[in-house]
Amino acid sequence: MKTLRFMIVAGEASGDGHAAKLVRAIRDGSPDNKIEFFGSAGPRMREAGVTATVEADSLSIVGLAEIGRALPMFLMTMRKLKAAAAKNQPDVAILIDFPDFNLKLAKHLKKQGIRVVYYISPQLWAWRKYRISSVKKYVDLMLTILPFEKDWYDEHGVSHVEYVGSPLAREVHADRTKQQFCSDHELDAAKPIITLLPGSRHKEIVQILPVMLAAAERLASDSDIQFVIAISSAKQRKDIDQIVAGSKVNFTVVEHETYDALIASDAAAVTSGTATLETGIIGTPLVIVYKTSAINYKLLEPFIEVPHYGLINLIAGERLAKELIQGDFTPQTLADEINRLLQPEVNAEMRVRLKETADKLGHGGASKRAAEAILKIVG
């Protein structure tokens, strides 16, 4: 038995979940060795046995101004991880998404002679294409999860890329039926249910949820629609409760039950991000929304180079789900689109097309394939 030591760094909730699955897959793939993990770890990674050099819970921040204010924290985090890498000398460093931070860390690690694997490619195909030079120089192996990414890298001269499939494929599923979910939360399964996913970050919630609530008030005024707000952690609950407190509509707020809520829903309003992909895999008709501060949007919008914001639309290769972004995202436009999605023919057709799109993501096993690629590096 030999000891294999891995540094693993995530900075957001979605990355924490994917990293935790990868950690378990690496352990399963090398049962005869002692496996050690350390790095930037969220709660799921810590549960999976990663020693937290730093806790990733507070690193997920959106917006240039917000990142600027948090710069001392990021600098301290970087120093801690560099010191931990120097002390522990990992066989491989595994960086999970989080490109603003991780590409800088990759440069340092590579110069220290540490092999770098990047799991879940930065969305260079969407914006900041210039970062591809950092991938060429400082990343030994890029593991991609979206079907078009490897071809994109090939076209731009990056050969050390392997497509492993989406870690969400065949892993996103509800634990309860619609009837069970409704019974547990005193909802009427015979009446329409709309799930609202306002994002996971504080800045997203305070920008997006009020618009969602205003749309719900318009919808509830002349219908019997029921509304569910799904959140992924208790950390978000304070923001949610403060915003919902002034609403005229009754909301059911659920925590760690997003997939169950979606399977029970007739439609969903989903903040752009990984959740659009999860919703699409489950097959719930959706409208994709996003809003940030005016200054953030003005600064970032010119750099966006893709025809769609939503991941499910990018994989579909068409505007399958309507996108309401920034100025287009208003209570009335959201209410109108939800009403459209509740029309039986529209609803049924989108469910069929979402299934066709989800099938493009493969048939599961992404974490296992990623683990195999990483273990191959360490021999």
Predicted local confidence at residue 19, as pLDDT:
95
Using a pLDDT cut of 90, give the percent of the chain over it.
71
Token pair of 296 as six digits: 């953030």
Whether residue 73 is found in the same domain as residue 63: yes
DSSP for 42-105, written as a single string: -HHHHHTT-EEEEEGGG----SHHHHHHTHHHHHHHHHHHHHHHHHH--SEEEEES-HHHHHHH
DSSP for 289-356, written as a single string: EE---HHHHHHHGGG--SS-SSHHHHHHTS--S-EEEGGG--HHHHHHHHHHHTSHHHHHHHHHHHHH
Token pair of 309 as six digits: 């914001």
CA pair distance 324, 341, nearest whole angstrom: 14
Interval 62-108: pLDDT, tens: 444 455 566 788 899 999 999 999 999 999 999 998 888 999 999 99
The total number of structural domains in the chain stands at 2
Other C-beta atoms within 10 Å of 27: how many? 17
Interval 209-222: pLDDT, tens: 999 999 999 999 87
Q: Whole-prediction pTM value?
A: 0.76
Q: Domain range for residue 17?
A: 3-170+362-378
Residue 300 in this model has a pLDDT that exceeds 60: yes
Predicted local confidence at residue 13, as pLDDT:
79
Residue 141 in this model has a pLDDT that exceeds 50: yes
Question: Average pLDDT, whole number, for the chain?
Answer: 91
Whether residue 228 is found in the same domain as residue 315: yes
Whether residue 94 is found in the same domain as residue 196: no
Whether residue 166 is found in the same domain as residue 185: no
Whether residue 128 is found in the same domain as residue 217: no
Predicted local confidence at residue 302, as pLDDT:
64
Per-residue pLDDT band for 125 (boundaries 50, 70, 90) equals: confident
Whether residue 229 is found in the same domain as residue 158: no
Whether residue 289 is found in the same domain as residue 207: yes
Maximum average pLDDT range among 237-251, 293-307, 326-340: 326-340
Question: Distance from CA of residue 64 to its chain's centroid?
Answer: 19
In one-letter notation, the amino acid at residue 5 is R
Whether residue 204 is found in the same domain as residue 309: yes
CA pair distance 201, 203, nearest whole angstrom: 6
Token pair of 300 as six digits: 């970032």
Whether residue 254 is found in the same domain as residue 162: no
Work out the average pLDDT over 274-291: 95
Work out the average pLDDT over 329-357: 97
Q: Which is more confidently placed, 310 or 66?
A: 310
Token pair of 19 as six digits: 């990293």
Residue 315 in this model has a pLDDT that exceeds 60: yes
Predicted local confidence at residue 67, as pLDDT:
53
Per-residue pLDDT band for 246 (boundaries 50, 70, 90) equals: confident
Predicted local confidence at residue 63, as pLDDT:
47
Other C-beta atoms within 10 Å of 318: how many? 12
Other C-beta atoms within 10 Å of 328: how many? 13
In one-letter notation, the amino acid at residue 251 is F
Comparing 64-73, 162-171, 256-265, which segment has the lowest mean pLDDT? 64-73
Predicted local confidence at residue 64, as pLDDT:
46
Work out the average pLDDT over 368-372: 96
Predicted local confidence at residue 66, as pLDDT:
52
Give the count of alpha carbons within 13 A of 23, CB side only. 30
Residue 146 in this model has a pLDDT that exceeds 80: yes
Whether residue 136 is found in the same domain as residue 32: yes
Token pair of 15 as six digits: 């990355």
Comparing 13-17, 85-89, 238-242, 333-337, which segment has the lowest mean pLDDT? 13-17
Whether residue 193 is found in the same domain as residue 145: no
Backbone conformation region of residue 41, classed left if phi is above 0, alpha if psi is from -120 to 50, else beta: beta
Q: Check which CATH number belongs to the domain holding 120 and give it.
A: 3.40.50.2000
The strand pairing partners of 231, in sequence order, are 255
Work out the average pLDDT over 338-362: 95
Whether residue 126 is found in the same domain as residue 26: yes
